[in-house]
Structure 1
């Protein structure tokens, strides 16, 4: 009987202990103040305890809180140390085409290490984020949707340790005029295009790049715009050349395929209809009437992206003139690179010293034969007055520099700038 009572006591004790453990509390009457909760508190301390007089004598929570404080300080210090070297990159395409959803973008550093991400619809277009990239140069491999076809393209980006956003564009031959202007505004057109390339921009005409970042945007009076108000400046001539990469070769032009052509080919015009040469380019019939006509013959998509640039032109008696032009003729220096007799152009030295030679003519169309290839007409006007006497202006004759009376009718090959 005693053994049975002993077993029963053990069972009762076990049940009580189980109850205590389950409810984390020892039953107590009014005379008992200790319980398991208080015992744990004595060991661990309160959640917000801080370090006591010494680490060893502090509660467990005090020690843990101190360790967390040290780790947080270390994290902050590490962040401050690496922040100049680690940045984020957001890439985006200006499209709401669902084809981009989930498409993979890869960024690769100079060592060949890469990260991948996927496009997601956000902010009215498609974006992909790379939140942690070390400072340096990266190659970006990305898909670009053009006419329902996905092009696999690459471009580059340089990170300096801060956050950066970069728009992705298509191949130059797939871009619209608005796309090309957007690339200029973003300052990346030189990653997509080269001097000598020819594109259509989705219009019925083609445009050959003769210079990148050479002309300076201005108002209509020739006053320069602030340099931080624009990105790249693309100078082009509608020469009727086939669209495609230039590959550092002179383009094969076709004056019959230019906006200013007629059924008889590229028309001929006078610089002036009367002897007003002393006023030079600024007040010439060519600038006020013919250039306006050239502009009006361009497609609307092209006119929408053209901006005025500062042009400096010589005069016979008063040095140089400064104008702001949307459409203009080239100068002697801009084509031939020199001035005066036997130096490649008959323009004045004052004019030549104030302007530049376009990259297309300094690096690609450098010979007489290559400049012959620029049009189907033998002679085309330049805007420069001739240094050999009034009233004569410079022109290009079979690839060489020449001069002619302002009342003569020669070919018209204008240029304009996109920015």
Structure 2
């Protein structure tokens, strides 16, 4: 009798326990308005509302209140850190002005002064291909990148100084492998001084052109009126000297008159043996220069622009008369542009008015400073015309005579070696 009652009591306890477990695990106890769900109320009391804030002490606040306060504290720390490091942090976007899909995924790398390297791939964006580098320190970097020339990808490296904040940089190719249109694009982007050097010799596949000046000539219209500086980038002044393509390394190039557009052919400045009207009205400018320009490949002609040239006039005084201002696509150098000096026999035979208004090209001031380096070989008489009228005679123009400064009769046929500008 007692044993049977004990079994029945244990059975009732088991049923109640199972029922309570079911309530806890499945929360399936029906509740009406007269029943309070104590379990859910306990959980709510512990967690609190999602937007709770600290109430009293941290220990007595709800869990959500504590979490929300911790998030606020972390955000404040992040803001402080950002303010602390923002003057030193940068981002860099590099890009090639090309929509060639071959660039997609190609890798660009930047190397900092400590040798640490970061890489990024080109992606199509804004009509060309870009690669992004974020969270980098400002400072000096070497950018190594692929650049496609004539269908082949070559690797180039350039130095770059990255400032704080957002930076953008266009990437261009090696000047010795670039087309004339690419070189022009580099000029427009203001990159010429980073990729080329005075004395370097480039090629269009037909002729070679030695760089005699960077950012010395000023672009103009056909009348010689200067263009706004905002309308162009860098200006590259080149002269076909027949030299082999390549870097100069600060040495004079090996010239070859026979490999230039006009070759060893000769022409007069003026058939009437006069320097009246100066360079502006000369036969050389009106007839020979267009013939010279027409010998250049069309792609090279397309890259050439007008620049302002200043030339003196003869008036039987050292100072000379008023200067002429012209806009020229193809021109002879002046006496000052080759020899420097102040004119009137002081380094050249041009008028002092002309010398004071012009400059000496960088190639002739720092590289080609000897007679030999100014003497274009393969020219039978070793003379070549300059556009400056002689300050002392009304029928002579200045020349380069075996590398030195001299003058000659304007109706004499001698060498023609012109220059032009790319921008």
Tell me the TM-score normalised to structure 1 length: 0.90
Matched with 1:313 is: 311
Alignment: residue pair count: 413
How do 1:180-191 residues align onto structure 2 when only pairs under 5 Å count? 180-191=183-194
Which of 264, 271, 274 is the equivalent residue of 1:273? 271
Q: Is 1:402 aligned with 2:406?
A: yes
Deviation, 1:176, is 0.6
Report if aligned partners of 2:211, 2:363 keep a CA contact under 8 Å in 1.
yes
Q: Is 1:301 aligned with 2:299?
A: yes
Deviation, 1:279, is 2.2
Q: Is 1:131 aligned with 2:130?
A: no
The whole-number CA distance in structure 1 between the counterparts of 2:142 and 2:242 is 34
The whole-number CA distance in structure 2 between the counterparts of 1:8 and 1:193 is 98
Deviation, 1:294, is 1.9
> CA, structure 1 residues 414+43, in 2 after alignment: closer, same or farther (shift >3 Å)?
same
> CA, structure 1 residues 340+226, in 2 after alignment: closer, same or farther (shift >3 Å)?
closer
Deviation, 1:88, is 1.4
Q: Is 1:323 aligned with 2:326?
A: yes
Which of 282, 285, 288 is the equivalent residue of 1:287? 285
How do 1:368-383 residues align onto structure 2 when only pairs under 5 Å count? 368-373=371-376, 376-377=379-380, 378-383=382-387
Q: Is 1:156 aligned with 2:156?
A: no
Matched with 1:17 is: 21
Report if aligned partners of 2:274, 2:396 keep a CA contact under 8 Å in 1.
no
| Structure 1 unaligned spans of 5+ | none
Deviation, 1:408, is 2.1
| Structure 2 unaligned spans of 5+ | 316-320
Output one character per residue of 1:296-349: Cα deviation in whole Å (capped at 9) or x when no partner: 222111111111112122122432222222111111111011133553211122
Matched with 1:218 is: 220
Deviation, 1:397, is 0.8
What's the Cα RMSD here?
A: 2.5
Deviation, 1:59, is 2.8
Deviation, 1:208, is 0.8
Tell me the TM-score normalised to structure 2 length: 0.89
Deviation, 1:53, is 5.4
Matched with 1:67 is: 70
Report if aligned partners of 1:84, 1:160 keep a CA contact under 8 Å in 2.
no
How do 1:333-412 residues align onto structure 2 when only pairs under 5 Å count? 333-373=336-376, 376-377=379-380, 378-412=382-416
Matched with 2:318 is: none
Rg (Cα) greater in structure: 2
Matched with 2:88 is: 85
Of residues 298-307 and 269-278 in structure 1, the stretch that sits farther from structure 2 once superposed is 269-278
Of residues 142-151 and 185-194 in structure 1, the stretch that sits farther from structure 2 once superposed is 142-151
Matched with 2:110 is: 107
